[in-house]
Amino acid sequence: MAHASVDTDMTLEQMGIAAKSSAKVLRKLSTAEKNDALEKMAEALEAQQDFILNENMKDLMHSKEAEYPEAMVERLTLNQERIQGMANGLRQIAGLPDPTAVSKGEWVNGDGLRITRRSVPLGVIGIIYESRPNVTVDATALCLKAGNSVILRGGKEAINSNKALIQALKSGLEGSSVPADSIQLITDPSRELAAKFMKFNAGLDCLIPRGGGSLIQTVLDNATVPVIETGTGNCHLYIHEQADLAMAKSILINGKTQRPSVCNALETLLIDESIADTALPILSEALAEKGVLIHGDETVCARLKDAVPATEADYHAEYLANEIAVKIVADYETAVSHIEKYSSGHSDAIVTTSYTHAQDFLDDIDSAAVYVNASTRFTDGEMFGFGGEIGISTQKLHARGPMGLEALTSYKYVILGSGQIKA
Amino acid sequence: MAHASVDTDMTLEQMGIAAKSSAKVLRKLSTAEKNDALEKMAEALEAQQDFILNENMKDLMHSKEAEYPEAMVERLTLNQERIQGMANGLRQIAGLPDPTAVSKGEWVNGDGLRITRRSVPLGVIGIIYESRPNVTVDATALCLKAGNSVILRGGKEAINSNKALIQALKSGLEGSSVPADSIQLITDPSRELAAKFMKFNAGLDCLIPRGGGSLIQTVLDNATVPVIETGTGNCHLYIHEQADLAMAKSILINGKTQRPSVCNALETLLIDESIADTALPILSEALAEKGVLIHGDETVCARLKDAVPATEADYHAEYLANEIAVKIVADYETAVSHIEKYSSGHSDAIVTTSYTHAQDFLDDIDSAAVYVNASTRFTDGEMFGFGGEIGISTQKLHARGPMGLEALTSYKYVILGSGQIKA
């Protein structure tokens, strides 16, 4: 089988030029042409499955030799089902509405100029990520669907897998209208090149880091390219004094234990003092049944023999594991102050039957997603109905919360005149 | 007369805490309460005019001692008319729609969750600018109207004027619902504090530089706070082979000479070769009449005795003066390539009677504002109908082109449930 090859000799500047020149072609393609390319990419992944799995095996062998943590090896592992999942993901993205085919407004100004705010692709998007090969396919598909070229810089642990995946995707593009140069993969694993990538303003319109807290912090500290910060999630659940405790228990257990390793999982439980006598036993027992370790404040530790004392660090912690901080709060205001102080601005929830406190909570909590009587686990592009997600933004510029295709677009003003000059 | 004083002893951290705590109050105020504060601020400017002019005189005396350029002294100068202009500007902003009182969408997802994308203020906005005291008032008013606190860092040349203006504005707030701490002025003129300000992620939700190219570059190079890049304008006018030359002349002269010192003024004229024999004499004569120096390519210099040869630097130049680069281009594609290479992505225009070339130009030129048959001088929040403008963005994230009040807002997702958990 012939494969489009990944050119490992290209400099970053050359990649930038190739990506930018492809972006000019891409932004003029029809929705049908982009969708056709996504379908062909899906077929290529399916057809080249054996090749991809062979290359993935090389990464897995290296990772075992290097004694990487089991969780990392698990994330790195591809199999037939996961590759099929990637292909299905491509077809799902093909089925989504084209975000550049949407009106953002048109009006005629006082001088008779017809002004349109036209939705356009961002241009060239940089993605910097860790060892999940599925990001390689997902991010590429979302960028292309929105009419953008993409330059990918994945973790060195996944380099063979990523090269194989990109080779397959590029071979799929060969029969399509999307230029193969729309996709660029950085194969040089050095930190020097990563640092250069973060300052590659000449070649990138924006940079999106996807991964853990330290990757994101490094990008924030070093990038000069405009960055969309994606999410660390220190998420809170506050059980108000007027609350349905069965609902509280169900939302707590779902938020903490359904998938503890993700950013929208709960990390801290706040219980109103006035209902602590009733609520704490019910909630702590449910947590214990699921094997969740409780880091409690003084009151909690006095009442629960299995709880360990919570330190300041626990309230800041994103455990991403079967652990939770539990604190008894004096009242609504104390709960809000705690969340204000410690929340990462991702997702926070209240359980209450009080109309006033529900409305106040929605106003008072300055996070990307604020919930009344529902699990924080819903903060997700797919759950929100966006069909896909490039990440969850915890910053306030450009995009906030789950970012779908729209977050990968910008706009420009198109002004139609008949000779108007400024008076 | 009693004046609210500007506390010059506050540290940046203290200002951040005060601004953030005011932002919590601000974001819950009604439109009427914010408008009332703007009106009271306008009245305070009028009432304290003599005090402001006295303080401005100190800056003017320093600037004359320091032999600052005349243009800078001119920008720094306040008089009765200018202060009245500022007060009128405040009232105009009070009259604009509240950008946080706008729906950004609401839907019910598959799980029955009601999801609202609620428009909210950004929070605390940093503004870093040069010596125009009017920015102090404009920027503050726009930030407050959108529900944000503001931390200002103006040029040291204007420090006495800025202190007086902020003192007046704060005294106006005293009788209003807007906390006086919503406005913070950095009075320490050191570069060290400016550098700290650019990295003040704990206190700022975004940073907007307003001023010349070197200020903006310094901010881009050093800031870790999310920045909205505002505009250097290397704007182009292309006279297509099918063009109404009378219209071309009028748009050229308006774009270049109506106000050469601003970012939406023209800097380069491209003339299609096929009409150069007719067009060049007409256009160059009109430029000469207005005293504009032509930096021409070889052909232009061969034909015009007063033209000086254009170098590569001229095509990159933002003259902001009575000078223009003029180049004869072989065809439409060459014109587009030139603009792609040299444009700062601000505003570019074509004059043409060809439907096809007009549409192609709108697609091909990747700038914030793309014009057919109109002057680039219209790229302006007021001209676009936004009522005011915090700057003109030449980046693609968050906001592009003239930024009105909407650019000073973000959104959050508000999710109303009835006990939903993720399956």
Domain that holds residue A176: 12-229+401-416
Q: How many domains does chain A have?
A: 2
Q: What is the largest CA-CA distance in chain A?
A: 81
CA distance B267 to B179: 44
Distance from the A178 Cα atom to the nearest Cα atom in chain B, whole angstroms: 17
Q: For the domain that residue A100 is a member of, what is the CATH number?
A: 3.40.605.10
CA distance B243 to A1: 54
* Predicted pLDDT of residue B1: 42
Q: Does A377 touch chain B (CB under 8 A)?
A: yes
Looking at the fold, whether B45 and B88 belong to one and the same domain comes out as yes
In a domain, residue A423? The reply is no
Nearest CA in chain B to A364: B24
Looking at the fold, whether B153 and B183 belong to one and the same domain comes out as yes
Task: Please say if the pLDDT value at position B288 is more than 90.
Answer: yes
Task: Please say if the pLDDT value at position A235 is more than 70.
Answer: yes
**Partner residue facing B377 (CB), from A24, A201, A422:** A422
Q: Are A31 and A96 in contact (CB under 8 A)?
A: no
Looking at the fold, whether B183 and B60 belong to one and the same domain comes out as yes
Looking at the fold, whether B246 and B180 belong to one and the same domain comes out as no
In a domain, residue B394? The reply is no
Looking at the fold, whether A338 and A304 belong to one and the same domain comes out as yes
Q: What is the ipTM of this complex?
A: 0.93
A388 or B154, which is more confident?
Answer: B154
In a domain, residue B387? The reply is no
A351 or A69, which is more confident?
Answer: A351
pLDDT over 70 percentage in chain A: 99
pLDDT per residue as tens digits for the range B324-346: 999 999 999 999 999 999 999 99
pLDDT over 90 percentage in chain B: 88
Task: Please say if the pLDDT value at position A2 is more than 60.
Answer: no
Residue A75 has which token pair?
């994330």
CA distance A93 to A106: 28
Average pLDDT over residues A2-14: 78
- CB contact (8 A) between residue B396 and residue A370: no
Looking at the fold, whether B225 and B281 belong to one and the same domain comes out as no
Q: For the domain that residue A364 is a member of, what is the CATH number?
A: 3.40.309.10
Angle (CA) B213-B219-B221 rounded to 5° is: 100
Q: Shortest CA distance to A194 belongs to which of A226, A233, A154?
A: A154
Predicted confidence band at B70 (pLDDT cuts at 50, 70, 90)? confident
The mean predicted confidence, pLDDT, of chain B is: 95
CA distance A130 to A122: 23
In this structure, the dihedral spanned by the alpha carbons of residues B76, B82, B87 and B88, taken in order and rounded to 10 degrees, is: -130
Phi-psi region of A341 (alpha: psi -120 to 50; beta: other; left: phi over 0): alpha
Task: Please say if the pLDDT value at position B186 is more than 50.
Answer: yes
**Partner residue facing B378 (CB), from A118, A123, A415:** A415
Q: Which SS3 state, helix, strand or coil, does residue B366 take? A: coil
Average pLDDT over residues A265-290: 98
End-to-end Cα, chain B, rounded Å = 66
Strands B391-393, B401-403: parallel, antiparallel or unpaired by DSSP?
antiparallel
Looking at the fold, whether B104 and B183 belong to one and the same domain comes out as yes
The mean predicted confidence, pLDDT, of chain A is: 95
Looking at the fold, whether B20 and B108 belong to one and the same domain comes out as yes
Looking at the fold, whether A72 and A178 belong to one and the same domain comes out as yes
Of A41-45, A139-143, A227-231, B411-415, the range with the lowest mean pLDDT is A227-231
Predicted confidence band at B131 (pLDDT cuts at 50, 70, 90)? confident
Q: Does B415 touch chain A (CB under 8 A)?
A: yes
Average pLDDT over residues B358-380: 97
In a domain, residue A159? The reply is yes
Looking at the fold, whether B258 and B214 belong to one and the same domain comes out as no
Which residues, 6 or more positions from A350, have their beta carbon under 8 angstroms from its beta carbon?
Answer: A237, A238, A240, A335, A357, A358, A361, A371, A372, A373
Residue type at A8 in one-letter notation = T
Looking at the fold, whether A287 and A192 belong to one and the same domain comes out as no
CA distance B213 to A422: 25
Q: Are B104 and B98 in contact (CB under 8 A)?
A: no
Task: Please say if the pLDDT value at position B88 is more than 70.
Answer: yes
Looking at the fold, whether B248 and B211 belong to one and the same domain comes out as no
Q: Does A356 touch chain B (CB under 8 A)?
A: no
In a domain, residue A248? The reply is yes
In a domain, residue B391? The reply is no
Backbone angles phi, psi at A337, to 5 degrees: -60, -40
* Predicted pLDDT of residue B4: 60
In a domain, residue A86? The reply is yes
* Predicted pLDDT of residue B3: 47
In a domain, residue A61? The reply is yes
Expressed in percent and rounded to 5, the helix, strand and coil fractions of chain A are 45, 20, 35
**Partner residue facing B400 (CB), from A369, A411, A419:** A411
* Predicted pLDDT of residue A4: 60
Q: What is the 3-state secondary structure (H, E, C) of A115-173?
A: EEEEEEECCEEEEEECCCHHHHHHHHHHHHHCCCEEEEECCHHHHHHHHHHHHHHHHHH
**Looking at chain B from residue 220 to 249, which residues have their Cβ under 8 Å from any Cβ of chain A?**
220-221, 224, 226-229, 244, 247
Task: Please say if the pLDDT value at position A3 is more than 60.
Answer: no
* Predicted pLDDT of residue B159: 95
Predicted confidence band at B72 (pLDDT cuts at 50, 70, 90)? confident
A374 or A216, which is more confident?
Answer: A374
